[in-house]
Amino acid sequence: MISFIIPVFQNELTIDQTFAEVQRLIKESVGIAYEFIFINDGSTDDSWNRIQKLSQIHPEVSGISFSRNFGQVPAINAGLNLCKGDAAIVLSADLQDPPEMILKLLDAWQNGEEIVIAYRIAREDRWTSRLVSSIFYRSIRAAIPSMPAGGFDFVLLGRKAINAYNQLKSKNRFFQGDVLWLGYPTKMLPYKRVARTKGKSQWTIKRKLKYFIDAWLNSSYLPIRLMSLSGVITAFAGFIYAMVVVYARMINHVPFKGYAPIVILILLIGGLVMIMLGIIGEYLWRILDEVKTKPEYIISEYSGFEDPSSGTEKIK
């Protein structure tokens, strides 16, 4: 069985078409069992009603609805937690990921690859979106060298990879980094992301900025290490300049009395404070990552699933 994990946020115009195209492709070309899991990430349009209607008509379709918008990564995580397939394919609901790539993903998986990534080599988006995406993923490669330059969202995970991924419980996750961190045999397949034909992208600058911060803080200690390094450099520079000030004081080349000790103290203490802040940051980062107890998402409604809170067998 193949599970299709499809996060949904304000995609009322493309949900039905996405389902129809993927279902047709699977029926005609593969002939294997499948399930669709749509995750409504707090949409305010008609997305949830469309998911419910699909689940009423098609028994292979199920859906969950979050109590509010939690983000794309929590939606993906919820789908992977609920899926029953031998493999799961994560794809977008906006038809920008060509369904034909699914056959290539499945072929690589059937040939023994546990993770198959479809990465973007080009995208038919606005130049601003292409520029931001290029800067984002190229900078992330400093922390994750195996990250494709164009990034990815379209990916297949085998059951071993799904089970391993579901064991990761940290908050504010970076999906691509977590997938690459698993370390399973991975196949990279290039594709061109097509232009959106319906609806409007909800991937705002604010969401992109948060995801960028999540990526850095969850995938690398580099930001905090840079803090510590800057502290060391500042302290070293302060020490060198302190020696210069001491020398100037000895030959009476100082602007006013008391200048030398003030500068020396500011430089040395400032450098030491930077070093200590970096060290404290190392601990705080780890403590903060461990003590968060809020759930990653809250499911308010089920469709096509057993609702664990109600005891009903199947919600339709």
CA 159, 161, 163 angle in degrees (round to 5)? 70
What integer best gives the mean pLDDT of the chain?
A: 79
Sheet architecture: strand order including 2-8: 186-193, 115-123, 152-158, 87-90, 2-8, 34-40, 61-66, 299-303
What was the pLDDT predicted at 313?
Answer: 42
Global model pTM greater than 0.75? no
Pairing of strands 34-40, 2-8: parallel
Residues contacting 290, CB < 8 A, separation 6+? none
249 or 83, which is more confident: 83
249 or 89, which is more confident: 89
User: 71: phi > 0 → left, psi -120 to 50 → alpha, else beta; which?
Assistant: left
* pLDDT, tens only, 161-189: 999 999 988 776 778 888 988 989 899 99
CB-based burial of residue 93 (10 Å sphere; 0-12 exposed, 13-18 middle, 19+ buried)?
buried
* pLDDT, tens only, 32-64: 889 999 999 988 889 999 999 999 999 999 999
Q: What percent of the chain has pLDDT over 70?
A: 72
Q: Answer whether residue 110 shows pLDDT above 60.
A: yes
| Whole-number Cα distances in Å, 104 to 109, 116, 170, 189, 206 | 9, 9, 31, 8, 34
What was the pLDDT predicted at 210?
Answer: 59
